[in-house]
């Protein structure tokens, strides 16, 4: 059975809804549940809540920003989660969204690559039970050790899209978490990850490649494409993602998104996103059509496709439940 994960996050999902969806995913044969940490929600607390509500499925952060936490306390929190669900938790970290961190938390944003690398190195050592002393470019730690060493490994994933972060993740992490990936981009990313692993004297097999894939099982194509258009346009309000979209073949759209957002025109930004871009970045249609696209991604070297259901204007729990059921391994 091929591994598959599910991303569970939407502003309209309560914690009770999330527990219900995680249980449904577990019963349907999913490998893992991934929880992005959004503004006003604590990702690690949600991992603990969903781990307590399930019995087999792995639950992880996907991701918590390295600028909002210390590696020491993050490792301690995940070690605590691991004591509740041994062998069933993972830690996903990443840079996060710069504007949200600076404006929402008043955090200075600097040296993202160095900060992420040191954060991962420290957290991985602590989660192995080591006593850590660290004098780095970003973090200085006299001595720290978690008091409840996990009995099973807690994998650490790094969110990465562009070459420098992909290579760094290949060098220091247990896995890479991509986002908005096309099949061609997964192939390219795998080359960077392998290069980073080789430079660090590691086997590329030590680094698992995962990606969020926006997915919706629905026969209402117009409704799905409208929702996709708005979501892609919203990501296009951020410089990082505009640069990324440009790199994967959508330079004209990225430039038009920049112009639209310069005037704060969300409607104009959504109009920029054409059907070619939607189809490249989103999986949608019947269960068979969605599973066929997921198989295509697996053929590019993606170890773990993670479906990321999204709201399309109906009760959001219904959308998630239908998409989970339609993409379940047991459904194929």
Domain identity same for 269 and 208: no
Domain identity same for 326 and 226: no
Q: How confident is the model at residue 163 (pLDDT cuts 50, 70, 90)?
A: very high
Give the chain's largest Cα–Cα span.
57
State the pairing for strand pair 132-135/140-144: antiparallel
Whole-number Å distance between alpha carbons of 82 and 311: 31
Whole-number Å distance between alpha carbons of 238 and 235: 6
- For 160, the 3-state DSSP assignment is coil
Question: Which sign does the torsion angle of CA 229, 102, 135, 78 carry?
Answer: negative
For the chain, give the number of residues: 332
β-bridge partners, 89: 59
Residue 184 CA, chain-centre distance (Å), reads 18
Q: How confident is the model at residue 105 (pLDDT cuts 50, 70, 90)?
A: low
Domain identity same for 224 and 98: no
Domain identity same for 305 and 279: no
Q: How many domains does the chain have?
A: 2
Domain identity same for 129 and 267: no
Q: Which of 182, 192, 187 is nearest to 162 (CA)?
A: 192
Domain range for 225: 220-284
Q: Which residue matches tokens 């929402």?
A: 104
CATH number at residue 76: 3.20.20.30
Residue 275 neighbours by CB distance under 10 Å: 11
Is 90 in contact with 120 (CB distance < 8 Å)?
Answer: no
Residue 332 has pLDDT above 60, yes or no: no
pLDDT value of position 330: 66
Whole-number Å distance between alpha carbons of 240 and 230: 17
Whole-number Å distance between alpha carbons of 205 and 49: 31
pLDDT digits (tens, 9 = 90+) for 27-79: 999 999 999 998 778 999 999 999 999 999 999 999 999 998 999 999 999 99
- 236-263 mean pLDDT: 97
Averaged pLDDT score across all residues of the chain: 95
Domain identity same for 259 and 314: no
pLDDT value of position 206: 96
Domain identity same for 316 and 229: no
Q: Which of 314, 313, 311, 319 is nearest to 10 (CA)?
A: 311
C-alpha to C-alpha distances, 266 to 138, 257, 269, 302, nearest whole angstrom:
37, 9, 5, 33
Q: Which residue matches tokens 């660290």?
A: 134
Question: Which sign does the torsion angle of CA 11, 17, 21, 26 carry?
Answer: positive
Instruction: For the chain, report the end-to-end CA distance as a whole number of angstroms.
Output: 10
pLDDT value of position 103: 64
Domain identity same for 169 and 268: no
Domain identity same for 88 and 105: yes
Whole-number Å distance between alpha carbons of 303 and 211: 9
- 99-112 mean pLDDT: 74
Helix axes 112-127, 163-172, angle to 10 degrees: 20
pLDDT value of position 319: 98
- 283-305 mean pLDDT: 97
DSSP calls for 273-287: --HHHHHHHEEEESH
Residue 262 neighbours by CB distance under 10 Å: 9
Q: What is the DSSP letter of 217?
A: E
Domain identity same for 228 and 98: no
pLDDT value of position 171: 98
What are residue 65's phi and psi, to 5 degrees? -70, 135
Domain identity same for 319 and 209: yes
Residue 331 has pLDDT above 70, yes or no: no
Q: Which of 232, 240, 236 is nearest to 260 (CA)?
A: 236
Domain identity same for 232 and 271: yes
């Amino acid at each position: 059975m091929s591994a598959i994960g599910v991303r569970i996050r939407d502003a309209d999902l309560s914690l009770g809804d999330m527990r219900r969806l995680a249980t449904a995913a577990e019963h349907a044969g999913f490998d893992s549940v991934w929880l992005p940490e959004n503004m006003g929600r604590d990702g690690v607390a949600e991992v603990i809540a969903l781990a307590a509500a399930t019995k087999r499925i792995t639950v992880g952060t996907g991701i918590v920003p390295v600028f909002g936490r210390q590696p020491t306390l993050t490792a301690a929190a995940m070690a605590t989660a691991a004591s509740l669900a041994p062998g069933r938790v993972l830690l996903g970290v990443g840079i996060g969204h710069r504007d949200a961190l600076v404006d929402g938390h008043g955090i200075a944003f600097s040296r993202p690559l160095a900060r992420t690398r040191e954060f991962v190195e420290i957290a991985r050592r602590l989660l192995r039970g080591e006593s850590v002393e660290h004098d780095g470019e970003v973090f200085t730690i006299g001595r720290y050790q978690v008091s409840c060493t996990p009995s099973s490994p807690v994998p650490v994933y790094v969110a990465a899209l562009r070459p420098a972060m992909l290579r760094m993740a290949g060098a220091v992490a247990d896995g890479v978490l991509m986002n908005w990936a096309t099949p061609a981009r997964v192939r390219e990313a795998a080359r960077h990850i392998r290069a980073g692993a080789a430079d660090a004297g590691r086997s590329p097999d030590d680094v698992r490649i995962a990606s969020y894939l926006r997915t919706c099982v629905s026969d209402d194509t117009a409704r799905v494409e409208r929702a996709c258009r708005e979501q892609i346009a919203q990501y296009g309000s951020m410089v990082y993602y505009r640069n990324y979209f440009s790199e994967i073949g959508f330079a004209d759209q990225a430039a038009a998104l920049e112009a639209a957002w310069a005037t704060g025109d969300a409607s104009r930004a959504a109009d920029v996103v054409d059907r070619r871009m939607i189809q490249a970045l989103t999986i949608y249609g019947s269960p068979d059509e969605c599973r066929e696209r997921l198989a295509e991604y697996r053929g590019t070297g993606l170890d773990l496709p993670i479906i990321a259901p999204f709201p399309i204007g109906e009760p959001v729990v219904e959308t998630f439940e239908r998409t989970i059921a339609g993409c379940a391994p047991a459904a194929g």
